[in-house]
Structure 1
Amino acid sequence: MSKYCDSHKDKWRKRLGRICGITVVVLFICLFIILITWAILQPKKPRFIIQDATIFNFNVSAPNLLSSQMQVTVWSRNPNDKIGIYYDSLHIYANYHSQQITYYTSIPNAYQGHKDSNVWSPFVYGTNVPIAPYNGPLLSEDKETGSVSLMIKIDGRVKWKVGAITTGRYHIHVTCPAYIAFGNKNNDGLFIGTAVKFQLQQRCSVSL
């Protein structure tokens, strides 16, 4: 009886070993194919440019509270000719000296085909947003001087589409420099009613 049991166990061990070996080989082949395909396609990060910013309100009040409303135009392009990009859960906000100074504003989900581009014009705003004590005087001083350097940030997720295959979601972080020239003597701003529109045309940095 013991010999039969030992023989039976050996058969199961051999069978299990074969199954594990075949599984490892199949996984290796699939991974190899994915890596080769990825290397051939050479996916590139999407490109972003902040084109302009229209300032409706930008007011610092004591104690260190900021109320702001601006509309920014952001252009994005997919540089890949064989890969599509899904944008998911994107939101945009403004930073000043590494501090968020507006609320999050959602950007609608979008698909960007091969070599396609999208243009978004979301409103970025905040009402009585508390800012750091050291940033309040700096922001007021910069505005009085005539120039405020903001960072418009976009965070969210992207998915890559290759043929009928769509990858998992990857985090995307976009940072766009926005130099707002309040009271610029060169009249770089275009007055639209009570708002002022500034042409920026600044390339953004993109990290995945």
Structure 2
Amino acid sequence: MSVKECTHHKERKKKLVQRFCGCLLILLFIILLTILIIWAVLQPKKPRFTLQDATIFNFNVSAPNIFSTTLQISISSRNPNSRIGIYYDNLDVFATYRDQQITYYTVIPAVYQGHKDVNLWSPFLYGNNVPIAPFNGPQLKEDQAAGAVWLTVKVSGRVRWKVGTVITGRYHLHVTCPAYIPFGNTPRYGGIVVGNAVKYQLSQRCEVTAS
């Protein structure tokens, strides 16, 4: 084989590789552009959570820095999307006081939420003799003297979006719901006696982030 034929063969192979790479880049660009257009048309929105109420069975401070908590909350989730469904996977609900967790995790079963659908969950939250960090002690004493405390109910888990028959990967979901909870089991601040518990209507909008 001559040197000229060998050089021609290499140049032809090089052009084929360049064409292949060019076609591949164009195909990837078209796919990404299509996804962006579909995403823009659908305008996906995060689910909207609302803390509806809290029923208090037990809520007290048994020592200067120790919480004991038994309460049931009602929290709703609405899918605002008209073309996108939502899969909720392994949601955990718990309560915190000044960024410190004071109840155990309560698991909400996995569920699919259709377009514009609303789901309502009523999990129990428990925390027995949970110690509070010393630096939160003074604030806890002030709250106890006032007869009520600001807690934060949180929901943490993963969600997947469904568009037609396409289901995305999992995204982290974080929900934060502030709640003003009275101490003891007496009907303060408009509470309604329900058996041996007191129910408070909250209707508190929650902050939702997904990443």
1:165 is aligned to: 166
1:27 is aligned to: 28
Identity of aligned residues (%): 61
Q: After TM superposition, which residue ranges in structure 1, 4 or more long, deviate above 6 angstroms? A: none
Per the TM alignment, residue 50 of structure 1 is displaced from its structure 2 partner at its CA by: 0.5
Q: Equivalences for 1:172-191 in 2 at 5 Å?
A: 172-182=173-183, 188-191=190-193
- Contact 1:103-1:125 within 8 A present in 2 as well: yes
Q: CA RMSD in A?
A: 2.0
2:144 is aligned to: 143
Per the TM alignment, residue 62 of structure 1 is displaced from its structure 2 partner at its CA by: 3.2
1:196 is aligned to: 198
2:112 is aligned to: 111
| Letter in structure 1 aligned against 2:94 | Y
- Contact 1:60-1:136 within 8 A present in 2 as well: no
Q: In the superposition, relative to structure 1, how do residues 185 and 156 fare at CA in structure 2: closer, same or farther (>3 Å)?
A: closer
Q: Equivalences for 1:80-159 in 2 at 5 Å?
A: 80-159=81-160
Cα distance between partner residues in 2 of 1:182 and 1:59? 6
Q: In the superposition, relative to structure 1, how do residues 178 and 10 fare at CA in structure 2: closer, same or farther (>3 Å)?
A: same
Per the TM alignment, residue 103 of structure 1 is displaced from its structure 2 partner at its CA by: 1.6
Per the TM alignment, residue 144 of structure 1 is displaced from its structure 2 partner at its CA by: 3.5
Give the TM-score taking structure 2 as reference length.
0.90
Count, aligned residues: 208
Gaps of 5+ in 1: none
- Contact 1:91-1:107 within 8 A present in 2 as well: yes
Larger mean Cα displacement after TM superposition, 128-137 or 34-43: 128-137
2:44 is aligned to: 43
Cα distance between partner residues in 2 of 1:130 and 1:81? 45
Per the TM alignment, residue 173 of structure 1 is displaced from its structure 2 partner at its CA by: 1.1
- Contact 1:181-1:189 within 8 A present in 2 as well: no
Per the TM alignment, residue 194 of structure 1 is displaced from its structure 2 partner at its CA by: 2.5
Larger mean Cα displacement after TM superposition, 5-14 or 73-82: 5-14
2:207 is aligned to: 205
| Letter in structure 2 aligned against 1:189 | G
Gaps of 5+ in 2: none
